[in-house]
Amino acid sequence: MKLHHLQGYIQSVYLAEYSDKLLLLDGCSRADIPMLKRFICNDLARPLTDLKLVVVTHMHPDHAGAVHKLKSLTGCKVAASGVSGQWYAGINGKLMHLTDILLAKWVAHRLKKPNRSIRYPSKLYADYQLEDGDLLPGFTDWKALETQGHTDRDLSLHHLPSDRVYVADLMVKVKGRYIPPFPVFYPNRYKASLQKIVSLNPATLALAHGGLVKPTKDEYDHLIALAPNVPKTHLRTVKAFIKKVFQK
C-alpha cells in the first residue's frame, strides 16, 4: 500500500493505492473531484474505476461532499458509520447543513482559494455500515475506529501494518498547535475519543487539517486540556455572540 497525501480544496486528501485498487479515506469536497480525476488518471495512469471504496468519516462538506458524484463516476462502494438516522435530519438539520456549507466557504476564503461550488446532498445511504473495530470491506489492512464527539458518527481509520491512523477532524493543527475542531457536539465522547487515540499510541496520525503528524505527550495533554466541557455548536455560538452584543 502506498498512501498519497494530496492537497484538497480546504483539507488534506488521502488516497491509498494498491496494485489492483484504490481506497479514498474520506468523501472530500465537491470541489476536489477534478483534482482527484487528474491525479488518478494522469499521475497514476489508472482508470477511475480502480477507485473501489470511499469512506465517509462524517457528514461535513469537506468529508462527504464528493462521495455521491464519485460513486456515479466510478461505481465505487461507500462505507460510513453504522449510527442510525441521518446527521442532517429535520428542519434543524437542513439549517445546520446550510451553515456547514457556509462555514466551509468561509474557510476557503480565509485560505484564499478560488470560489467553488461545494453544495452536496444532506443525506447519505452507505453500502457498508461500519462499527468500531470493523475491517474495511475489500481493504482488510484497515480497521474502523469510532471517534465520536465532533459529531455523533465520526470514524477514524487505522492502517494496521504501518500503525498509521487517519483521524479526520478529531484534532486540527493551527499555527503549530493542536486544537479541538468546531463544532464539538458531544464533549464527553470527544474526550474519550482523544484518550482512545492516546492509548493506541500509533506511529503517526494523518489529519484532515494538518497533514501527517506525530504529537508528543505534551501536545496531547495540551489538546485534552483544551477539550470543551460543554457542547460547542453553531446555535450555542450564535447565542453567545448575541448575548455579548447586547451586553455592550
CATH number where 182 lies:
3.60.15.10
CB 159 within 8 A of CB 1: yes
Q: Is residue 245 part of a domain?
A: no
Task: Measure the CA–CA gap between 230 and 105, rounded to whole angstroms.
Answer: 26
The β-bridge partners of 212 are: 206
Report pLDDT digits (tens) over 86-140: 999 999 999 999 999 999 999 999 999 999 999 999 999 999 999 999 999 999 9
Q: What is the mean pLDDT of the chain?
A: 95
Report pLDDT digits (tens) over 205-236: 999 999 999 999 999 999 999 999 999 987 66
The set of cell numbers assigned to 211 is 497533514
Q: How deeply is 168 buried, as exposed, middle or buried, from its count of CB atoms within 10 A (0-12, 13-18, 19+)?
A: buried
Q: Is residue 237 part of a domain?
A: no
The pLDDT assigned to 181 comes to: 97
For 191-209, what is the HEC assignment? HHHHHHHHHHCCCEEEECC
Q: Is residue 62 part of a domain?
A: yes
Instruction: Say how many domains are in the chain.
Output: 1
The residue whose grid cell reads 485560505 is 111
The set of cell numbers assigned to 63 is 468529508
Q: Is residue 216 part of a domain?
A: yes
Q: Is residue 183 part of a domain?
A: yes
- Nearest by Cα to 97 from 60, 49, 137: 60
Query: Dihedrals φ, ψ of 200, to 5°?
Result: -70, -35
Strands 22-24 and 51-56: parallel
As a whole number of Å, the end-to-end CA separation of the chain is 57
Task: Measure the CA–CA gap between 17 and 84, rounded to whole angstroms.
Answer: 31
Task: Measure the CA–CA gap between 234 and 92, rounded to whole angstroms.
Answer: 11
The set of cell numbers assigned to 217 is 505527550
Q: Is residue 129 part of a domain?
A: yes
* CA gyration radius, the chain: 18
Report pLDDT digits (tens) over 144-198: 999 999 999 999 999 999 999 999 999 999 989 999 999 999 999 999 999 999 9
The set of cell numbers assigned to 106 is 468561509
Residue 86 has, within 13 A of its CA and on its CB side, a CA count of 15
The pLDDT assigned to 234 comes to: 72
Q: What is the value of pTM for the model shown?
A: 0.95
Task: Give the model's confidence band at 241: pLDDT under 50 very low, under 70 low, under 90 confident, else very high.
Answer: very low
Crossing angle between the packed helical segments 187-200 and 217-226, to the nearest 10 degrees: 170
The pLDDT assigned to 126 comes to: 98
Q: Is residue 13 part of a domain?
A: yes
> Whole domain around residue 202: which residue ranges?
2-226
